[in-house]
Structure 1
Amino acid sequence: MNNGDGKRLNGEAEEEDEDDLDGEGREAWERTYTDERSWESLQEDESGLLCPVDDKILHHAQYRRRLRSLSSTTTASRIQKGLIRYLYIVIDLSKAAAEMDFKPSRMAVVAKHVEAFVREFFDQNPLSQISLVTIKDGVAHCLTDLGGSPESHVKALMGKLESSGDSSLQNALDLVHGYLTQIPSYGHREVLILYSALSTCDPGDIMHTIQKCKNAKIRCSVIGLSAEIFICKHICQETGGLYSIALDESHFKELILEHAPPPPAIAEFAIASLIKMGFPQRAAENVISICVCHKEAKGGGYTCPRCKARVCELPAECRICGLTLVSSPHLARSYHHLFPIMPFEDVAPTQHKLPKTCFGCQQSLLSSVLMQEVELPSLLPALNADDASALIAIFIFMKACITAQAVRA
């Protein structure tokens, strides 16, 4: 009996050892880091460049971009987008954020890509503002106020990365609703929720809160890091937002960066309206004064043209008189959202003839004294598309140089 039991136990131990090894002979702890060996998923193509072995993710991203481009070309209408956006980023820091299905944890992955998103957001929306809200222990906390400084948001977020308790969507929406209702009508009110939990601990009726957000024209979008939840999908459907689930870290990065470009403007708020803005001047670095944003004595900054108060960065809102302070480059970079250009049409290089006149001034690009016209159609059939387009570009550049010399003479 004992010998039989001993053999059986030894047999079970051998089976467990075999289960710990996969088909390639790796240990269980080795399989954890297999996906992180990114250098092993590279190969060299015919031209000597490195490319990933598995192109499914790249093909999927290209397919989604191609669908968006096709939808934009099929619709001939020009969509007006939001110029000034007020975005609240709600980050779930409950105990579900400490799960390690995203390496090293969901909380670390979210913080990493929120930092990249904040910088990309201000690059594409110079006149917009962002605020960070965290959810943990069933309470929503406003981490940063609305502002246009990416450094202050990133610094505040990295100092509060602690997860505990449960999450509450209703408390977060109530907090955001109280702030966004004070935003003027020309501002676009948006909420982006990065949700890790599978449930919500609400003190009241969340359906009433969702209806208040819908009436206030607040666009709520949710990116989930776990499974699909009905209440999150219902929030996005009622408020006109987007709901998506991240499959892995790269997919999460792609989903969050899709919210950086400005969304289409709401029809009733897309009418022309006048907004008071101030263009402050840069103060001298050796002049020390107290800034109204940090209430500290600093040098430099910008002086409000209305009340002469000092602010550190632009764009900002003066805490004394409430005037919106921007710079001319910020306004110029945001102007293309009001009047977007029509989508371009692809033209084959062989079908595009060499222009004889300038598109801007309609002056002739040919000079009978300095050059003779070169017939290109006889050369194009013997060349492929890339060589033909390169040859056309060279001749256009040569003609432009000769024309410039003639004008200078």
Structure 2
Amino acid sequence: MNNGDGKRLNGEAEEEDEDDLDGEGREAWERTYTDERSWESLQEDESGLLCPVDDKILHHAQYRRRLRSLSSTTTASRIQKGLIRYLYIVIDLSKAAAEMDFKPSRMAVVAKHVEAFVREFFDQNPLSQISLVTIKDGVAHCLTDLGGSPESHVKALMGKLESSGDSSLQNALDLVHGYLTQIPSYGHREVLILYSALSTCDPGDIMHTIQKCKNAKIRCSVIGLSAEIFICKHICQETGGLYSIALDESHFKELILEHAPPPPAIAEFAIASLIKMGFPQRAAENVISICVCHKEAKGGGYTCPRCKARVCELPAECRICGLTLVSSPHLARSYHHLFPIMPFEDVAPTQHKLPKTCFGCQQSLLSSGSRTTLSVTCPKCRRCFCFDCDIYIHESLHNCPGCESLRHSKSVNTAEA
């Protein structure tokens, strides 16, 4: 209440001041940092570096992922996986994406981890392609076309981070269905929906759209950022996808990275077939020509062996003759899903005398005067690795740096560090 001079009464001002303070006399902005108490989650290790206090949770999560990778390794001979994937990532940019339960907002967290997922996806699936679709104002927009360039997808996403309106699952599925039905039969059709809203505003019968996606063999998976929704769960059950709810940012990162390895192939698509591919040669940098992908004059690039058209990067599909253009390293890197590495064996400290340092990172295997139990040994060369190096080898699906000569350059640098 204001008086005639525009000043508040003293009693009302005192009440508002008391509301801004808690029982200990802290302001609202102070309580924000006090409740989180982020400084208590750090401590110093023996070398004086900062490390999380609850690092056991991180080790247990990594250990569970390693067990899942080992279980998939044992069943790899019975499960066929799709090496050529066509994935549409549907990102919800409705007004629900601006909620701040994920710091700083759901939209910022999704964009951050989608960038990491796109790079990890192409690292594990070099022959696959990704397209980004956004939902806002009840309409689905195709942000990027199917392609194998992570930089173009990330750049397009970071330039369109605006949330407004409602979301529509039916419009997104109709848009994706129209594109994926044109995919060749050997390609595996997938949709990953990152959903923030608690409802969907659809113009028609979404059940009919779900049935169309099921008949087209489109595998739809949903990661929710709010709460479980029946229609999202129904979509995943009908199409054979996965439905999960992210509890926090780290859990969301773990859930989205689980979609990077190729899933088991659908029975209708598991039939062996021959695919025509071209292996183009890289042109000289001083040779200027017009590329068919951007319609611009550029130097370098690759020349299609069939129609002699110029493309900027690989893998790609020639816009002139439709030939799939790849390089031999891309084809070789796809074999790690067909021939996974042998599972490492856990080493107990009492079995035999362990070396003093890890073969991969050269860090000491001694912990507070006793040998650490977080160590494994390669079943072929019997070299010992610490737990972190073993997680890196298994999650990156690289060969053992001790006994395999063919390995990724990243694992070589790690082994020689």
Interval containing the TM-score (normalised by the shorter chain): 0.7 to 0.9
Aligned CA distance change for structure 1 residues 342 and 172 (closer, same or farther; 3 Å) = same
Q: Give 2:234's aligned residue.
A: 234
Question: Using the alignment, how far apart are the partners of 2:3 and 2:195 within structure 1?
Answer: 55
Shift of 1:30: 2.3
Question: Using the alignment, how far apart are the partners of 1:266 and 1:89 within structure 2?
Answer: 20
Question: Using the alignment, how far apart are the partners of 2:249 and 2:366 within structure 1?
Answer: 56
Shift of 1:23: 7.0
Q: Which has the higher helix share?
A: 1
Shift of 1:229: 0.6
Q: 1:381-404, CA deviations, whole angstroms, 9 ceiling, x for partnerless residues? A: xxx99999999xxxxxxx999999
Shift of 1:175: 0.6
Shift of 1:364: 31
Shift of 1:241: 1.0
Aligned CA distance change for structure 1 residues 346 and 268 (closer, same or farther; 3 Å) = farther
Aligned CA distance change for structure 1 residues 356 and 400 (closer, same or farther; 3 Å) = farther
Q: Residue 360 of structure 2 contacts residue 414 of structure 2 at CA under 8 Å; is this kept in 1?
A: no
**What RMSD over aligned residues (CA atoms) do the two structures have, in Å?**
7.7
Question: Using the alignment, how far apart are the partners of 2:42 and 2:413 within structure 1?
Answer: 47
Q: Give 2:403's aligned residue.
A: 388
Q: 1:174-217, CA deviations, whole angstroms, 9 ceiling, x for partnerless residues? A: 11011111111211111000111110011111111111111111
Aligned CA distance change for structure 1 residues 301 and 74 (closer, same or farther; 3 Å) = closer
Question: Using the alignment, how far apart are the partners of 2:12 and 2:361 within structure 1?
Answer: 87
Question: Using the alignment, how far apart are the partners of 2:258 and 2:17 within structure 1?
Answer: 45
Q: Residue 86 of structure 2 contacts residue 130 of structure 2 at CA under 8 Å; is this kept in 1?
A: yes
Shift of 1:114: 0.9
- 226-235 vs 103-112, greater mean Cα deviation: 103-112
Q: Residue 127 of structure 1 contacts residue 330 of structure 1 at CA under 8 Å; is this kept in 2?
A: yes
Question: Using the alignment, how far apart are the partners of 2:168 and 2:367 within structure 1?
Answer: 74
Q: 1:279-329, CA deviations, whole angstroms, 9 ceiling, x for partnerless residues? A: 001111111111100011111110000000000010000000000000111
Aligned CA distance change for structure 1 residues 271 and 128 (closer, same or farther; 3 Å) = same
- 286-295 vs 19-28, greater mean Cα deviation: 19-28
Shift of 1:112: 1.3
Q: 1:82-137, CA deviations, whole angstroms, 9 ceiling, x for partnerless residues? A: 21111000011111111122222211111111111111111111111000001111
Q: Residue 80 of structure 1 contacts residue 339 of structure 1 at CA under 8 Å; is this kept in 2?
A: no
Q: Which of 373, 379, 401 is the equivalent residue of 2:412?
A: 401
Aligned CA distance change for structure 1 residues 354 and 174 (closer, same or farther; 3 Å) = closer
Question: Using the alignment, how far apart are the partners of 2:5 and 2:301 within structure 1?
Answer: 81
Question: Using the alignment, how far apart are the partners of 2:301 and 2:240 within structure 1?
Answer: 39
Shift of 1:239: 0.9
Match of 1:194, SS? strand
Q: Give 1:295's aligned residue.
A: 295
Total equivalences in the alignment: 384
Shift of 1:81: 2.0
Q: Residue 78 of structure 1 contacts residue 342 of structure 1 at CA under 8 Å; is this kept in 2?
A: no
Q: Residue 291 of structure 2 contacts residue 298 of structure 2 at CA under 8 Å; is this kept in 1?
A: yes
Aligned CA distance change for structure 1 residues 220 and 303 (closer, same or farther; 3 Å) = same
TM-score (normalised: structure 1): 0.78
Shift of 1:80: 2.8
Q: Give 2:160's aligned residue.
A: 160
Q: 1:114-161, CA deviations, whole angstroms, 9 ceiling, x for partnerless residues? A: 111111111111111000001111111111000000111111111111
Shift of 1:79: 3.0
Q: Residue 115 of structure 1 contacts residue 154 of structure 1 at CA under 8 Å; is this kept in 2?
A: yes
Give yes or no for the alignment of 1:253 onto 2:253. yes
Q: Residue 365 of structure 1 contacts residue 403 of structure 1 at CA under 8 Å; is this kept in 2?
A: no
Aligned CA distance change for structure 1 residues 17 and 60 (closer, same or farther; 3 Å) = farther
Question: Using the alignment, how far apart are the partners of 2:224 and 2:358 within structure 1?
Answer: 53
Q: Give 2:131's aligned residue.
A: 131
- 10-19 vs 266-275, greater mean Cα deviation: 10-19
- 198-207 vs 2-11, greater mean Cα deviation: 2-11
Q: Residue 401 of structure 2 contacts residue 411 of structure 2 at CA under 8 Å; is this kept in 1?
A: no
Percent sequence identity over matched residues?
97
Shift of 1:53: 2.2
Match of 2:8, SS? helix
Shift of 1:267: 3.0
Q: Residue 349 of structure 1 contacts residue 385 of structure 1 at CA under 8 Å; is this kept in 2?
A: no
Q: Residue 220 of structure 2 contacts residue 242 of structure 2 at CA under 8 Å; is this kept in 1?
A: yes
Match of 2:141, SS? strand
Q: Give 2:354's aligned residue.
A: 354
Q: Residue 280 of structure 1 contacts residue 302 of structure 1 at CA under 8 Å; is this kept in 2?
A: yes
Q: Give 2:306's aligned residue.
A: 306
Which ranges in structure 2 are unaligned for 5 or more consecutive residues? 369-398
- 246-255 vs 35-44, greater mean Cα deviation: 35-44
Question: Using the alignment, how far apart are the partners of 1:72 and 1:147 within structure 2?
Answer: 28
Question: Using the alignment, how far apart are the partners of 1:366 and 1:169 within structure 2?
Answer: 54
